[in-house]
Chains A and B, each alone.
Chain A
């Protein structure tokens, strides 16, 4: 394979919301290239639906301090409070910035940005749900992705579309570029850089039922682990309560924000048992666990592994009356099929297409679906990647968005905080990387810069076994769903870990069919599976060690949160084929840990 070399001061890997926001800011001050395995508009940010949170107070009183507290509480006190406060205080400014870029938010009658309630977001004085999620119908992520891509075109940002980054180039401990394969030609490219920003998204494809795109294969964390750097809090992976049964396709929490309720086989609105105050709008970890308990106790619909999400107007109106829900002007909240259709057009389209169900006439069959990585590449608030538990920075390396762990989501992310995270920390990453690049030199590239990337591909191309990538992937997904999912036990996690290690061994004996150069997705799917296996292994190892229940990590054998021993972040390294775990304290400012009640 021939190698082409490029030089940019800042190289950004990934073109979702975080990558594009970073690109807009980095390119103001530094020569910048965005390298993405997908066309930018294909990125998974576009699948986000319900909204982006900011305490604008356009519908009712709201404050950034309340947003901060809700996020700390939602994180089950594992989020770093300085970072959370930073993000929530920045939220209004960033949402206005998106609007100034042209983002078509829905509007209030006064012409301001429309907001809706979302799980875990409350008025801290009354404890009632607050309208904090700024939205554009149920395609807010699509609008953010499109708007940022449009602005990148306007600002002439340089893109390398459909280039898969395979390796990070480190010179004397500094990030000095990346190696990528041009998917269309199979050529390798070395991108020599002063600073690298990783914005590669998540890894929901580790699990069988997932809302995540095929592209979500944990490329960023896997590359970082291979360079001897740690990943953080990998045991915390969010299962969104409402995925379409069997398919996992996301049904936004905005459905419940608009008054939809979860119903079991007995016709009960069961969330009032588990979260008496905010009921269906409790945090996602709480709702997903409640659903598992309902199904385990035989109250799944027809005894099956699903429940109903009901947004029929008669149901919404019935429970709005019971809850005493009111409009901002104090009148009772009532809705119609037409209003629901207008607020949730994509959800209705998904249900009609995939289920043949019209949600304004029939309830939707849903089950929890693997959705979001709270953990990831450890960074500080400036998005600088951290090398150890003492906060030592890796010079020139930045990470932002789902692939990063700042940590603003701790053990459980609140809905709408992911879109906020990508714009706030995408901007920080672009700004700080460009500043760093202005004061840095290009490190001399080693002659063998592309060798490790090439060796990874050749190992797959030359592998002469009989194992198929699709079989290994299916076994991994099933095992992780079963044993490292919503509820976990020591025995189950250990079995999963053993299984992942067996699958990693079998991966050494795969056989792929395509040995060509042009658009070889057989090769790249295999490489992505190697990333998923690495990520699954650290996830299971981190989960096995954490002997408590916190946020999305729920252990049947340790059902309580244990602040005495476990209010700390996990850092995991791969060393000589083993996982090494170390820990660092959570940053606390003014919020003392309390029991979490919704």
Chain B
């Protein structure tokens, strides 16, 4: 089959403004958008610039806007898109453009680091040196939010984040949730305090864009609601 990609191009060294370029090529319905981008880069236009690494949805490098929705290029097969029309490929929104589909991730990772995204428990370790105990039910409580790959698809789909990127965004809240609801962690109160602040969870307007965007199918809106509830009730159940 033939497919046409309409790609937003921008080279800061030569372009005053971003512009679209169109590429038409042969492809298979099972090709991923990433495969098509690689074909263009390899055989037609080596200047086309995008990030990629694992190519199967676990490293989080290739988040981009595909037909207006945030997706990983490596998890989006042509057969899931309307290929009778041009497929529009643009960089994720809300972060500064670097070149073509590459954006500056600094703000995204800075927001992530604000929520203490690491295990905190200064109590003595078990005397036998072995693992801290945790029941399967306690482990299950935060399972969903351990899946996050920090691809930024959710945060850069969020209208609140577009308007003000001091809002930590859904990804940071997901990563806070992963520790807040971990029975072994001891810093939930500190994280909840941060997230109760002006750049925290109450900026969320429940647009659900984040949940739609997540390539890991994390129930992000639910996780945010649980964090909100924990702040309001002061309970972690």
The residues of B with any CB-CB pair to A shorter than 8 Å are 11-14, 30, 38, 41-43, 45-47, 49-50, 52-61, 75, 77, 98-99, 102, 104-105, 109, 113, 117-121, 125, 129-136, 138-139, 142-143, 146-150, 178-179, 182, 184-185, 217
Contact = CB atoms under 8 A, between A and B. Distances in A.
Interface string A321-354: 0000000000000000000000000100110011
B56 A519 contact: no
Contact of B59 (A107, A213, A470, A522): A213
Interface residues of A, number: 64
B131 A113 contact: yes
Contact of B46 (A93, A101, A512): A512
Contacts, number: 162
B61 A38 contact: yes
Interface stretch (A62-70, A148-156, A232-240, A564-572): A148-156
A104 B59 contact: no
Nearest to B113: A153
A96 B98 contact: no
A106 interface: yes
A150 B117 contact: yes
A516 interface: yes
Contact of A102 (B49, B54, B57, B182): B182
Q: Which 10 A-B pairs have the closest CB atoms?
A: A102-B119, A470-B42, A513-B46, A111-B133, A150-B118, A522-B46, A154-B118, A514-B47, A42-B59, A99-B131
A456 interface: no
A112 interface: yes
Interface of A: 38-39, 41-44, 46-47, 56, 93, 96, 99-102, 104-113, 136-137, 139, 142-143, 146-147, 150-151, 153-154, 184, 213-215, 247, 249-250, 346, 349-350, 353-354, 468-471, 473, 512-514, 516-522, 525
Contacts of B149: 41, 46, 142
Given A104-B146, A109-B136, A353-B77, A519 B54 contact: no
A111 B134 contact: yes
Given A147-B119, A150-B117, A150-B119, A44 B13 contact: no
A346 B56 CA distance: 10
A346 B58 contact: yes
Contacts of A109: 135-136
A512 B217 CA distance: 38
A521 to B, nearest CB: 6
A525 B38 CA distance: 11
B54 A46 contact: yes
Nearest to B76: A353
A438 to B, nearest CB: 27
Given A38-B61, A184-B98, A100 B45 contact: no
Contact of A151 (B11, B49, B118, B139): B118
B131 A112 contact: yes
Contacts of B178: 104
A114 to B, nearest CB: 8
Given A101-B119, A512-B46, A521-B49, A354 B56 contact: yes
Contacts of A137: 143
Contact of A213 (B54, B125, B131, B143): B54
